[in-house]
Structure 1
Amino acid sequence: MHTIIKIALLSALVLSDAAQCDETDGGKTFSENLFSRTKLTGDWGGIRNDMDDHGVTLDLDATHATQHIASGGYDGSLLSQFPGNRISQSLPGISETESDAMFNLLLNVDTGKAGLWPGGFLTVRGEGRVGDSLGIRSGGLMPTNGDALSPAVPGHSNQDVLALTELTYAQFLSEQFGVAFGLINMADGDRNEFAGSLRSRSHFMNVGMRLSPVIGAAVPLLTTLGATAIFMPTDNITGKAGFINAEETAGYNPFERDNGTTFLTEWQVSHAFAGLPGKQTAGFVYGFDRNKLDFGTDPRLQLATLLRTGEAVRTNADTWALYYNAHQYIQGDSSGGWGPFIRAGVSDGHPNPIKWNVAFGLGGVGVGSWRPDDNWGLGAYALGASNEPLINRLGIHDETGFEAFYNAAFTPWLHVTADVQYIDSALTGANRLAEGSLPAVNLPGPKEAWVVGVRTNLNF
């Protein structure tokens, strides 16, 4: 029994988002009253509990986000003077207020509990998106709503999409070792307990706070084919290492999108300082055999509008990046406490468009005994553009930003986040929006922006 529990915990740590832990919590809270159970739709007349007892969980969550530009950013009145061209079409945020919704359907199968064989875990995920986000209207290089990047179907940024984003099988061969392969979802990487990850729906919204963008040249945003080995040498250390395709494959045949290969490894160490818990995560990626890199197709960097010529960096150079994040409670723990966090990364800068990044701040769980299930955070980020010739030609500089959020848990299945952001944009010198064969459109650069938002997450 000890081995089974340990393997199940390792699977949850490595293959799924910590914010989704109640998806596999044994179902014991499915049948409680409306305001206590973890899922809005309950136990489905006992069916959900029976499925869980046999190792099968099926979950659906939906996220709706509305953001408003209180001041600054690109001047929407100027952008609206170019109706019908690709600039206005690619700037959904001509309006100062935009809303979008994201859906996540997740199936998990534990082969041991299903009576098949021990140590096997199948994960299938589908995601959808409708509506518009602010896009580049906010003026920042980093998107203000990271939730709206999923699913990241190439060529369909900020469009209504539905795609298979994960189909992974993991087999644990012992308490210390396992393997995983298939269509891997990368959104759970670089996770921080206070700052979240790209998968998070209860932490920061700005991408600059949720991950290290230095990995962009080697790691696709969301979905790709790959295989990894999973390690747990001790109770407080977990790690993975493997190879993935370097291109995003959501919505496409993954076997036809294999431009480049990336080696990746990520390790997490849990520890206690003066009896208070903390964790450190470090990762390394190395990309090779990639002959082109189209900055404009990566939704982590809002460059599509600036690169309407379809210009891509042609390269035969390998690329690498290192990233690190940590958090440390200085009062309490994950059941109620707070402390600082930090996130940082560095890359070779060629062909990677981001040379370095850093984010830091304070985060916490609960507000005393009054609001024990809420969480909150405030912090700042900064990133430095590389000396890649295309980046210099576009006039892209360093970017800084500030963000604060409060995520209120009205019930275990209903969370509402209030969010405010300040952005000092890297695009202040990028005032020529290219139009393919048409002359570039000259616009004033974006002003320092304030963005406010509300996000609602429902777990069905």
Structure 2
Amino acid sequence: MAALVATTGAPALAEDSLVSLAKQKSLTDTPGGPKDELRRLGVDVNVWVTQFFQGIPAGAIDRTARYGGKMDMFLRVDGEKLGFWKGLKFNAQYEHYFGRNLNRQDLALLPVNVAQAFIERDGYHSALSMTLTQELSEELSVTIGKFNMLTLAAQTPLVGGGGIDTFMNRAFALPSTGIGVSSPESVADRLIIAPPYLLGGVAALKTKYFDLRVMVADPRNAQQARVITRPFERGVGAGLMATVPIEIGGLNGFHTLRFAYSNARGFDLDDIGERRQAIARLRGLTKKGFWFVSYAVQQYFVQSATDPKLGWGLFTLATLSDGNPNPVRWSMLVGLAGYNLMTGREDDRWGVGYYHYGLTQPLLSGLAARRINRRSEGGVEAFYNFAVTRWLRLSGDVQIIDPWNPLRARASYLGLRLQTIF
């Protein structure tokens, strides 16, 4: 009888183990395992490895293809569970680059793979971000440290961000009114109002009717060591963001208004055609202060009855800036994105969107005076993220871009992305 029970029960146990493995949040997150025990103590550790294979089948002279990837390590600490005071939180993220990527291979203005755009083989090979949060009440919190803006963008409803599991192009994954470039020391990067990393602080207020965030930060890219050792020596940037939830027909929606200003100096684009040499040396021709304002809408069209965060719908974003020294006068995004609510595919994500970055006329005229013809850039992107399991995701991505270099033909980009959560 014992032998009969053992032989008939073994397949059932094996099947249960496979089902449990498929439903785990991560490959190593077993019930009662080390990660589970650490969480009981207030320590949450996650490791993501994302691999990319992306090519340009049309629009590039040599039909370039690149393979590379990125490793993300996350550490979240609950200070209260560790014996400190209530409301204390610590977060750290370490990123490491490997392989190569397609950014700047076809002279597109915005990175087509933002996850690898700011840590790469020829620049910063890795990056570390750390923040400390104190929750003063259920509604009010204050956070200081070095912020990873890609990770913050990933929290955006519907469209997501960060380039890891939704859109790959920077226009969607890290939208801003500045030029997204791979080299943090370049001229263009110094004109970005929203760099990929910021050093500063955020106060967040959550109420029943609206969410309000106030941020004060060094306007420079915090990847530069000088920003850490000599913060705010070139000026300060401040931003105000208000989000109002609006329900339409029982479906959730969010309207977000953001305004930012910095007293830092940028290059005066009115003079770009007269003194090209000075601009190349990053000296002189500066103009103090720049601002931008944006308005975003995320509206669910279909929503899960059990989890309001699951669903799909419309996202839009429109921005406007001073146009000098900011090189992007205006930009816009529009598209559909979210989770697939079909039975058995609830963890899948998908999206399709259009973007356009309208470059300011002083920049285009100045470059034309130097016989460098450029134009505004636009494109479309679509992706589908297939959840093989909750910790293994395979994405297909396609982008079609009219690059800002008019001498280059319309380019198409095809990509595969495999994410493993350990």
TM class by smaller structure: 0.7 to 0.9
- Percent of aligned pairs with the same amino acid: 27
CA, structure 1 residues 227+46, in 2 after alignment: closer, same or farther (shift >3 Å)? same
Query: 1:219-239: CA deviations, max 9, x gaps?
Result: 3522232122111132x5222
Describe the SS at the equivalent of 1:330: strand
Contact preservation (8 Å) 1:224, 1:245:
yes
Find the counterpart in structure 2 of residue 262 from structure 1: 237
Describe the SS at the equivalent of 1:51: helix
- Structure 1 residues 213-232: aligned runs within 5 Å: 213-215=176-178, 217=191, 219-232=193-206
Distance 2:215 2:36 in 1: 35
Query: 1:192-250: CA deviations, max 9, x gaps?
Result: 322222x241111111122333156353522232122111132x522210210011122
Describe the SS at the equivalent of 2:33: helix
Query: 1:336-370: CA deviations, max 9, x gaps?
Result: 53221112211111111111111111123115214
Q: Gapped runs of 5+ residues in structure 2?
A: 1-17, 180-190, 270-277
TM-score, normalisation: structure 1: 0.75
* Residue-pair matches, total: 377
Q: Gapped runs of 5+ residues in structure 1?
A: 1-30, 77-94, 295-306, 429-444
Describe the SS at the equivalent of 2:34: helix
Find the counterpart in structure 1 of residue 418 from structure 2: 456
Contact preservation (8 Å) 2:176, 2:194:
no
Distance 2:258 2:178 in 1: 10
Contact preservation (8 Å) 1:100, 1:131:
yes
Describe the SS at the equivalent of 2:104: helix
Q: Verify: 1:119 aligned to 2:87, yes or no.
A: yes
Distance 2:324 2:357 in 1: 15
TM-score, normalisation: structure 2: 0.82
Find the counterpart in structure 2 of residue 244 from structure 1: 217
Find the counterpart in structure 1 of residue 261 from structure 2: 286
Q: 2:77 aligns with which of 99, 105, 109?
A: 109
Contact preservation (8 Å) 2:264, 2:290:
no
Contact preservation (8 Å) 1:179, 1:228:
yes
CA, structure 1 residues 221+34, in 2 after alignment: closer, same or farther (shift >3 Å)? same
Q: Verify: 1:208 aligned to 2:171, yes or no.
A: yes
Q: Shift of residue 42 of structure 1?
A: 2.2
Describe the SS at the equivalent of 2:177: helix
Describe the SS at the equivalent of 1:269: strand
CA, structure 1 residues 42+267, in 2 after alignment: closer, same or farther (shift >3 Å)? same
Q: 1:176 aligns with which of 127, 134, 139?
A: 139
Contact preservation (8 Å) 2:21, 2:27:
yes
Distance 1:147 1:317 in 2: 31
Distance 1:59 1:176 in 2: 27
Q: 1:368 aligns with which of 332, 342, 357?
A: 342
Q: 2:159 aligns with which of 165, 185, 195?
A: 195
CA, structure 1 residues 138+308, in 2 after alignment: closer, same or farther (shift >3 Å)? farther
Contact preservation (8 Å) 2:150, 2:174:
no
Distance 2:102 2:403 in 1: 14
Distance 2:295 2:174 in 1: 10
Describe the SS at the equivalent of 1:33: helix
Describe the SS at the equivalent of 1:209: helix
Contact preservation (8 Å) 1:313, 1:351:
no
Q: 1:52 aligns with which of 30, 39, 53?
A: 39
Q: Shift of residue 176 of structure 1?
A: 2.0
Q: Shift of residue 310 of structure 1?
A: 4.7
